[in-house]
Amino acid sequence: MPANLPPEYHKIEAELRAARTPQEKIDIYERLIAVIPHHKGTDKLIAMYRQKIAKAREEGDRRQATAKHPPTQKVEKSGAGQVVCAGPPNAGKSSLIKALTGADVEVADYPFTTRLPAPYMMPFETTQVQLIDTPPVTGEIMETWFPEMVKMADAVLLVADLADPDTAGQLDGVRRRLRERKVDLVGTETDIPPERFPFLKRTVLAANKVDTEGAMKAFEDLGVLLEGPFERLPVSAASGRGLEALRRAVFGLLRVVRVYSKIPGKKAEMVSPFALKRGSTVMDMAKAVHKDFSEKLQYARVWNAAGLDGLRVNRDHVLADEDVVELHI
């Protein structure tokens, strides 16, 4: 099948002669991929440029390592927890984050639009979860800093493309590259010991583009082809289908409880709760409020939907999700 390359392709290709640095070459390769028509006649050409991008990035990393300035990326945590979004090219990560957060995320129809990690806040009921948009990962391409970002995060949102017939293979490539850096993606119910926190990450799989033709069949096939204990959710960034269930699943990955603080003699304000790890006690909440509270705390009163109505409790009382707590010092 002929490639039928447009005139713009040849103009961009001519710029390669003047490219000197790996980054300049990467920019040109990505522009070439963007203008190449996507059909069977161009699959090998696109794959070739993706391999060239991977090699150019490796060359750039080697140069930076030689200069003793290894590439690093860090995003400070915010909200109830930090969840890294990961997936292969064109899976729709950025579109999904835009739909979940309402933020102005850069979205395009060609791969590698996202070049650096970018944080966005996803609202969930009365709290927010930080989602990190990241560059795509394949069996051949992964930013050197990406595994370290995953290690520092609380959990992972893995995004699949139901319109891609090789989506299971693409996802296996993502998991394989992370395993090479000692990171395993595990199921939502996995208990992770503190010392294993950097290396085991609870993960939920968002199967995107469920509103495309044949997507539900692809979703069922994915459950057979993809090895892994992940919770799978069919969603659509374009139509909004399944997004509320996905928000709840992402929040569930964090294993936190939302606790509201009440000032004695006043009504509780059911906004901006403290996000504490499951199993946290009244004392843990006091520490989160202020150091002085933890040092001077005498007791607390708790209200909740389970029937506690201002019950006086001690410092070791374990808090539940959406408890209202009044601290007394």
240 and 276 assigned to the same domain: no
Phi and psi at 203, nearest 5°, equal -135, 140
Q: In the listed set 200, 235, 253, which residue is the last one of a domain according to the structure?
A: 253
Two tokens, residue 92: 């729709």
Please indicate, yes or no, if residue 120 is contained in any of the structural domains: yes
Per-residue pLDDT of the chain (329 residues; tens, 9 = 90+): 456 788 888 888 888 877 778 888 888 888 888 888 887 778 888 888 888 888 888 777 666 665 554 455 788 898 999 999 999 998 999 999 999 999 887 665 545 555 689 999 999 999 999 999 999 998 888 898 999 999 999 999 999 999 999 999 999 999 999 999 999 999 999 999 999 999 999 999 999 999 999 999 999 988 887 777 789 999 999 999 999 999 999 999 999 999 999 888 888 888 889 999 999 999 999 998 887 788 888 899 999 988 889 999 999 999 999 999 999 98
173 and 33 within one domain: no
**Structural element, H or E, at residue 280:** none
Examine the domain organization and report whether 284 and 219 are in the same domain. no
Residues 88, 219, single domain; the answer is yes
Instruction: Give the tokens for residue 64.
Output: 């930076």
pLDDT at 277: 95
The answer as to whether 117 is a domain residue is yes
- Residue-level pLDDT at 54: 84
Compute the distance between CA of residue 11 and CA of residue 2 in angstroms, rounded to an integer.
19
Identify whether residues 265 and 229 lie together within a single domain. no
Tokens of 222: 């994915």
Range of the domain at 237: 82-253
Instruction: Supply the pLDDT for residue 273.
Output: 92
Please list the residues that pair with 179 across neighbouring strands.
none
**Domain assignment present for 226:** yes
Q: Using DSSP bridges, classify how beta strands 231-234 and 256-261 pair: parallel, antiparallel or unpaired.
A: unpaired
* Residue 76 forms part of a structural domain: no
For residues 94 and 227, membership in a common domain is answered with yes
The per-residue pLDDT for 1 is: 47
Asked which of 207, 225, 253 is the last residue of a domain, the reply is: 253
Query: What is the structure's pLDDT at 329?
Result: 85
> What pLDDT is stored for residue 33 in this prediction?
87
CA–centroid distance for 118 within its chain: 10
For residue 102, being part of any structural domain is answered with: yes
The verdict on 228 and 100 lying in the same domain is: yes
pLDDT score, position 293? 80
Asked if residue 283 and residue 242 are part of one domain, the reply reads no
197 within a domain of the structure (yes/no): yes
2 domain-assigned: no
Q: From residue 201, how far is each of 1, 230, 281, 295 by CA, in Å? A: 43, 11, 24, 34
Q: How many domains does the chain have?
A: 3
